[in-house]
Amino acid sequence: MLPTLRPGDLVLSRRPWRRRLPPLGRLVVVRDPDGSGRVLVKRVVALGARGFSVGSDAPDHARDSRRFGELAPSALLGLVVAVWPRPGSRG
C-alpha cells in the first residue's frame, strides 16, 4: 500500500457493525481469499451488486481484486480508522 502505508506502520481498524459494503475509497482490512489466513489492508475501488473490489496504492506490486476478483461482504474484517507510522520511518 505504498505510499499510504509502509512496512512497520501500525493500523487501527474497527469491525463494521453491520455486514454491508464499505464506502468507496475507504481503507479496509480483509481476509486474503487464498485461504492462507493472512489479512490484507487495501482500498475499496469498486462496489458491486454482491460485493466490493479492492486495490492497492502501488498496483504494480500488489495482490488485489485484479488477481482474485470481487470480495463478499463477509471478507471484510474492519474499516481502518487510524494509521501510525513506524517510529523513525518518516521525517
CATH number of the domain within which 20 lies:
2.10.109.10
Give how many domains the chain has, as a whole number. 1
Is 70 exceeded by the pLDDT of residue 2?
A: no
Three-state DSSP state, 69:
coil
Res 27 pLDDT > 70 = yes
- Report helix, strand or coil for 45: strand
Q: Could you tell me which residue, 4 or 56, shows the higher pLDDT? A: 56
Return mean pLDDT, the chain: 88
pLDDT band with cut points at 50, 70 and 90 for residue 17: confident
Chain centroid to CA 9: 14
Total H helices, total E strands in the chain: 1, 5
Give pLDDT, residue 52.
95
Q: What is the pLDDT of residues 31-42, one digit of tens each?
A: 999 989 999 999
Predicted model pTM: 0.86
Q: Which domain holds residue 15?
A: 10-84
